[in-house]
Structure 1
Amino acid sequence: MENVILIVHLILALSLIVIVLMQRSEGGGLGIGGGGGGAMTGRSAATALGKATWILAIAFICTSIALTIIAARNDAGASVIDRLQDAPAPATEAPADLGTGDGLLPPTAGGGDAPLVPDAD
């Protein structure tokens, strides 16, 4: 159910972006576009895009609230820190013998535990 609501939520978000970008600029925003007459009138005429924007915005908010409620229900009631403390520690194994060449490092020059010293040519 959560996935279905999430997909609807994403479709609503994309639709809302498209609808807002399709609308005509009414001016006032950053001082660009449109005329200044819209700011002086009491209320502008409701267009189909304006109504669609309101409908998509209300649906977007409803799906946001629904996703929040679903996430709260799925929560185990414990914090993330509590879950980390209850988790078993990962098992660590001793590394393979690195001096014999079986490991990831190259074998030592003397075959023993002596460190490799670079030669100056």
Structure 2
Amino acid sequence: MTTALLILHFCVTIALIGVVLIQRSEGGGLGIGSSQGMGAFMSGRGTANLLTRTTAILAGLFMLLSLTLAVLYKGGVTGAGQDILGQAPQPAATAPVAPPQQAVTPAPAPAPAHP
């Protein structure tokens, strides 16, 4: 089932990329979405509405498939990508602490003898 969802996800992704590239943007895009590229099939406004709806539907499918695959894979990955939220925190390793060194004070010099 997961393999089928991954293949469907890939197809939806490629279709979404294609539809977004076809759309006419302010800069002209690829120009395929204009009425000249579609012939007499639809007007410019109808083509734009169709592409906008198609983009919205494909984006919704993309999000739904992404969430579904994430739920299916939760906890299924082993190794470096394990679920870190489900584990207890590991205690931090600390270096052994040496006992504090006491300052050594020099012994007072003997007082000079007075004759």
Of structures 1 and 2, the one with the larger relative CO (CA 8 A, separation 6+) is 2
TM norm structure 2? 0.49
Which has the greater radius of gyration? 2
